Amino acid sequence: MFIELQKHLKRPVLYERTSDKFWDDPYISTQMLEAHLNPNTDGASRKPGFISKCADWIASLLPNGANLLDIGCGPGLYTKQFAARGLRVTGLDFSENSISYAQDNDPISEYVLQDYLSMAFESKFDMITLIYFDYGALIPNERRELLQRIYKALKPGGLFLFDVFTPLRGQGKRDSTSWDINPNGGFWSAEPHICFNGDNYYGDTAEGRRHVVVEENAVRCYNLWDCYFTEQSLLEEAGPFGFSAVGFYNDATGRLYTSKSETICAVLKKVSL
């Protein structure tokens, strides 16, 4: 176990993925659902008032009855709000717990249990949304795969709306480590464990968080990434897949973008290749 632990305590190589899966782990996905539904924090989802403002603005970009696909929808917090504003909505997520909750609490929308990196819709939607920085949680090859699938799923002229972090988020930050003792279990495991945490920064490119969970007879390692983007880098990345810019905003409520913002919400349009 010592050799395994020593290997995981090193600084991750940029975009390094770990073999341990967690978002669809039965225990961790339950913890994630609780975090999504907590109205007092922005830990997994935005607070209800912010989500409502997002839904107001996003719905205003589409005609009544337009088809919207919300990927990475979680428990349907945005999806339900879109449907209440007159859109025909499909929510897609690979967390069984989240999809089950969404179906129980939103009988209007359609929900699909699937990884959005394997979705295969054809010219079906007027807009696709990916909200709360999920796009930047993907590494480059995953983003390329997603852009191809989103392009195919959109109708001609359809919109892709998503938000990301800018390099300002990591400005002035340095690598750091910490550890937690959880004798009664915690977010990553119901069993007693120690969790070693590393926050690592890679210039203007990305930040990575590594969580090494040490139980009595097991060591598990989870790498999470937040990649940084500018207006220009988003266009350079999405342009070759058939997207042009409609506009850039500070966030998904539609506030106009400023150079001092740590976040960007992009609205891109499907154009002919």
Please state, in angstroms and as integers, the Cα–Cα distance from residue 175 to each residue in 6, 23, 129, 155, 199, following that order: 18, 25, 32, 43, 5
Along the 273 residues of the chain, how does pLDDT read in single tens digits? 667 777 788 899 999 998 877 777 889 999 988 988 888 887 778 889 999 999 999 999 999 999 999 999 999 999 999 999 999 999 999 999 999 999 999 999 999 999 999 999 999 999 999 999 999 999 999 999 999 999 999 999 999 999 999 999 999 999 999 999 999 999 999 999 999 999 999 999 999 999 999 999 999 999 999 999 999 999 999 999 999 999 999 999 999 999 999 999 999 999 976
- Cα–Cα dist 188/220, whole Å: 10
The answer to whether the beta carbons of residues 270 and 154 sit under 8 Å apart is: yes
Q: How many CB atoms lie within 10 A of CB 47?
A: 12
Tokens at residue 187, please? 């977010």
For CATH 3.40.50.150, the residue range(s) in the chain are 38-166+230-270
Q: What is the CATH number of domain 38-166+230-270?
A: 3.40.50.150
Beta-bridged to residue 208, according to DSSP, are 200, 225
Q: What is the pTM of this model?
A: 0.95
